[in-house]
Amino acid sequence: MPILTIDNQQIEVLKGTNVLEAAKGLGIVIPHFCYHEALGAVGACRLCAMNFVEGPVKGIQMACMIEAKDEMVITTTDQASQEMRARVIEWLMMYHPHDCPVCDEGGECQLQDMTIAGGHDIRRYGGKKRTYSNQDLGPFICHEMNRCIQCYRCVRTYQDYCGGTDFGVLGTNQRVYFGRFRDGRLESPFSGNIVDACPTGVFTDRTFRYRTRYWDIEEAPSVCPHCSLGCAVIPGGRFRELQRVRGGVNKQTNGFFICDRARFGGGYGNHPERPRVPRVDGAQTTWPEALRALRKRITDLVARHGPGAVAFLGSPRASLEANYLLDSWAASLGSRRIAFDSHWQHDRSARVAAGKLGPRAASLEDIRCSDFILMIGVDPLNEAPMLALAVRQAVRRGVRLAVIDPRPVTLPCAAAHLPLAPEALPDVLEALAGGDIRRLGRREAVLLEGILEQLRAAERPVLIGGPDLLGAAGIERLLDTARLLASEHRPCKVMTVLAGPNSFGCGVLARQGPDFEAILNGMLAGEIKALVCLESDPMTGSSDPARTGMALGKLELLAALDYLPTAAAHHAHLFLPTTAVPESAGVYVNNEGRMLLFSSAMDPGTPISVSGGGDHPPRTFLPATPGSEPRPAWATLGHLQGRRLSLRDIRQAIEMEHPNFAGLSSLTTGGEGKRIADISPPPETAPEIPFPHSEGEGTLRLYAMEDFAGSGELAGYASALAPLRPTPFVMLGALDAKQRSLSDGQQVRLRSELGGVGVALRVVPDLPAGIALVPRLRGTALESYVPGRGHYDCQILSEDEEKT
């Protein structure tokens, strides 16, 4: 490890560290623009000049481009390097419009800071300024090219890191331009990262435009609740409204960047229909009334029908603390009827992952550093977008990626795609785990042999799978495969994509408990009279919404605690409002079993809106903030059990009861989190779980799949994501389309057990025969098609056939 001297202070750094980072280690922050930890050093801005006095290189050098070496003596305070930095800033500011007062970046602008730090004050350049015209980059990002200082960070983020192709550098000399070939929405699902990457106000968040100054926004490190990866985000609120989300840093999960769903999908808590007041039998009431009513009704039911008459449903989007308190409440009542996910396969998959993943769990960082990746039954861009980006980073290094999936798995990188029908996936897993490879077709067998060979040859291979097509049985087999492929000297890691931000935590809590299917049967049989739903909506969350609806209709008491205007919240006899993620603190356990702390960025309240209807200023004055009734679910659940608990108390209790959560109470916000201790001994294997699909014969088999912006429960309530939601469509293989004389883009009729619906047809060349795919799109006719439920028999007819 080299030891070098910077400004008369010595520092020892890791081999390969650049001098700019080494100086940072000493607290010496030299202005820089083009260097970014995730994007690397490229030596474009020439701002981080330092004077190298002794060592292998001499003179004024760009610190980001020089690797720290022993015996280097460097000064940053000498006249020559200071003059250089001042001149570079002066050059960068030659054409700057000085429009800070109207720039959204003002106050959190690196260019402002670095201009001051660089020592440039008065503009000497008196020539004409270069000006640009801006482009319309769509609903998410504003473009203001005159502020550009050509650090190339945007294009390195968009093209190199995120794999976008519709945005880049145009032109040369002092007229280089960062934009698209022509106006239009940035197509990459990671486009928002250029807002974070841009050191000044060229790219700003359009959804946040002219809303708030940096010093007025309330921010806190949090965790994204949109999928199971647990990316670090920083939500920011003002005027009781969540106004923006920016990427946080967690080197084990997302690194520095986030997807557009995380960034622009934070508005679910602002939803105009969000229920903010406790409600009993349809009438709004006060907290004490509602709590008393709920306690009384449950006590009555237990007295009349026994504790088994009350069932509980936790949630993968509720915090570990809240889920735990729900569990302990059920236990205190004597009810064993608690499930943590209404989607049967998702629930079972989470339990398998929680019980069996162990030290083989791959983090996103492990994936970025891997040397061979096999993805099977997982569609990252739609199910866990940042996974696609992690995979891309490996592929950029030359790592090979194999994808086995019937869906057209679009990725921001090259991959070898083997489109096999869902019913072939168990055989593939079998073959991977050392089973008979001949059960597959000849072509498939040859390809699989190749994949196996590379898997065995790799030093750091990673297997990735998802529950929708593999189901819990497939996830289990994937874990077995990894175990078989691993040796003492060569790990084989696995990532299982789960359904929600806390699915893993729920999987641990669920243990051998019943699943929602059992609870559903109990409700239908009339044994269960009451269901308490914690931040979950079985009406849309379960794999069979129709049957669930019927069961809920039989209940004497449906109680819901939530911050979303869900169907369950709407129909609940008793409703208690909870705080949304940015308004609360808690812990999520992500899909690799990493405990991640999120803290509260803002207090709940109805967002201020300009009414202009003559009611301003208010004539009545309230003692409390309007809409501030929601309380953290954990607080309410503690209250219901008659306990006054702090988060700290709850975490300590969890640690006591579940030793695998050791370290929970010492987690810090903004850190990398802590992987849970592996359960030992592992729980007994769950009952034989069938794969989520049946025979390969019969009519056209329709599978529902996730959509980037259209399927997620939270995303469905985030209005800003609307432009990203597709209009309903169905995908069909080229051969199947030809047999039916259907062509791409045609309007067709999709008929299944769920009824008929008109959708557009997309012909996908290599979709396996006999398979059709629809995205689950909330708020459309495709809402009731649930991914991970198995297949629906369907017919696809042209509209003419439909008439006849």
Partner 1 sequence: MKQHEQVLFKNRSPGETAFLETYRKSGGYQGLEKALTKMSPEQVREEVKKSGLRGRGGAGFATGMKWSFFPADKPGEKYLVCNGDEMEPGTYKDREILMADPHQLVEGMIISAYALQIPVGVIFIRYAYEQCSRNLERAIAEAMEAGLLGKNILKSDFSFELHLHRSAGRYICGEETALLNSLEGVRANPRSKPPFPAQKGIFGKPTNVNNVETFANVQHIIAHGSAWFKNLAFTESGSGTKLYCLSGHLERPECFELPIGISLGAVIEEYGGGVWRGRRFKAALPGGASTPYLTAEHLGVGLDFDPIEKAGSRLGTGAVTVFDETTCMVAATLNLNRFFARESCGWCTPCRDGLPFINWLLEKIENGQGEMGDIDMLREQIRNINGRTFCALAMGAMGPMQSLVDLFEEEIIDHIKKRCCPLKT
Contact (CB, 8 A) for 64 and 35: yes
Contact (CB, 8 A) for 512 and 316: no
Nearest to partner 1 of 149, 531 (CB atom): 149
Nearest to partner 1 of 68, 720 (CB atom): 68
Tell me which residues in 635-674 interact with partner 1 (CB under 8 A). none
Tell me which residues in 583-602 interact with partner 1 (CB under 8 A). none
Q: How far is the CB of 47 from partner 1 (least distance, A)?
A: 7
Member of 152, 312, 516, 708 binding partner 1 (CB under 8 A): 152
765 binds partner 1 (CB under 8 A): no
Segment interacting with partner 1 (CB under 8 A) among 68-76, 80-88, 606-614, 757-765: 80-88
Nearest to partner 1 of 172, 804 (CB atom): 172
CB atoms within 10 A of CB 384: 27
Member of 3, 29, 78, 91 binding partner 1 (CB under 8 A): 91
Tell me which residues in 38-67 interact with partner 1 (CB under 8 A). 42-47, 49, 59-60, 65
92 binds partner 1 (CB under 8 A): yes
Q: Is the peptide bond before 617 cis (omega within 30 degrees of 0)?
A: yes
Distance CA 6, CA 10 (A): 6
Segment interacting with partner 1 (CB under 8 A) among 172-180, 296-304, 490-498, 779-787: 172-180
Q: How far is the CB of 81 from partner 1 (least distance, A)?
A: 10
Single-letter code of the amino acid located at 102 = V
CB atoms within 10 A of CB 82: 16
Nearest to partner 1 of 45, 479 (CB atom): 45
Q: How far is the CB of 11 from partner 1 (least distance, A)?
A: 24
Q: How far is the CB of 77 from partner 1 (least distance, A)?
A: 17
Burial tier of 574 (Cβ tally within 10 Å: 0-12, 13-18, 19+): buried
- Burial track 229-264 (b if 16+ CB lie within 10 A, e otherwise): bbbbbbbbbbebbbbbbbbbbbebbbbbbbbbbbbb
Segment interacting with partner 1 (CB under 8 A) among 79-87, 98-106, 510-518, 693-701: 79-87
Member of 26, 29, 94, 735 binding partner 1 (CB under 8 A): 94
15 binds partner 1 (CB under 8 A): no
Member of 4, 20, 84, 402 binding partner 1 (CB under 8 A): 84
Member of 27, 126, 617, 618 binding partner 1 (CB under 8 A): 126
CA–CA–CA angle 685, 686, 692 (5° rounding) = 125
Contact (CB, 8 A) for 538 and 550: no
Q: How far is the CB of 151 from partner 1 (least distance, A)?
A: 9
Break the chain down into helix, strand, coil percent, rounded to 5. 35, 20, 45
97 binds partner 1 (CB under 8 A): no
Distance CA 433, CA 454 (A): 14
145 binds partner 1 (CB under 8 A): no
Listed residue (742, 784, 781, 779) closest to 762, CA to CA = 742
169 binds partner 1 (CB under 8 A): yes
* Tokens encoding 714: 């939270």
Look at residue 657 and give its three-state secondary structure: helix
Please state whether beta strands 747-752 and 700-705 pair in parallel, antiparallel, or not at all (unpaired). unpaired
Q: How far is the CB of 458 from partner 1 (least distance, A)?
A: 21
150 binds partner 1 (CB under 8 A): yes
Distance CA 66, CA 76 (A): 14
Nearest to partner 1 of 47, 325 (CB atom): 47
Nearest to partner 1 of 90, 706 (CB atom): 90
Contact (CB, 8 A) for 148 and 201: no
Residue numbers at the binding site for partner 1 (CB under 8 A): 42-47, 49, 59-60, 65, 83-84, 87-88, 90-92, 94, 124-127, 150, 152, 169, 171-176
